[in-house]
Amino acid sequence: MASIVSMVAAPGFCYSKSTMVGGASTVTARPRRLVVVRAEGQGINPDIRKVEEKVVDAVVVTELSKPLTAYCRCWRSKTFPLCDGSHVKHNKATGDNVGPLLLKKQ
């Protein structure tokens, strides 16, 4: 019959030591479980230019087919990577200030 007598944590792995009747022991290593923590209620933009009503950047590109192309940065567009305006609803619902990346043909 085995009993766990100690648990030791080390980066990346959890170790457990089992001692058998008679004194023999084994050490088992298994990968540590990854825990994902999400910020709730703060939107996707935690701290970039929060004083602005909407964060919009523009880059001049010479090879674009249209004069202006908006790329989504809020991750809510149904036409991702292109912006479809979904950021407006997201901003109203969360108080966030995300906006598209505008690429302008020169």
Dmax (CA) of the chain: 81
Q: Does 100 bind ligand FES (CB under 6 A)?
A: yes
54 tagged catalytic: yes
> Could you tell me whether strands 98-105 and 55-61 are parallel, antiparallel, or unpaired per DSSP bridges?
parallel
Q: Does 95 bind ligand FES (CB under 6 A)?
A: no
Question: 11 or 53: whose CB is closer to ligand FES?
Answer: 53
Question: 14 or 102: whose CB is closer to ligand FES?
Answer: 102
Question: 25 or 79: whose CB is closer to ligand FES?
Answer: 79
Tokens standing for 1?
Answer: 């019959």
**CA-to-CA distance for 22 and 2, rounded, in angstroms?**
10
Q: Is 45 exposed, middle or buried (0-12, 13-18, 19+ CB in 10 A)?
A: middle
Task: Lay out the site mask for ligand FES across 54-83 (x = CB under 6 A, - = otherwise).
Answer: ------------------xxx-xx-----x
Tokens standing for 58?
Answer: 């523009």
Kindly list the residues in this chain that would bind ligand FES in the complex (CB under 6 A).
72-74, 76-77, 83-87, 98-100
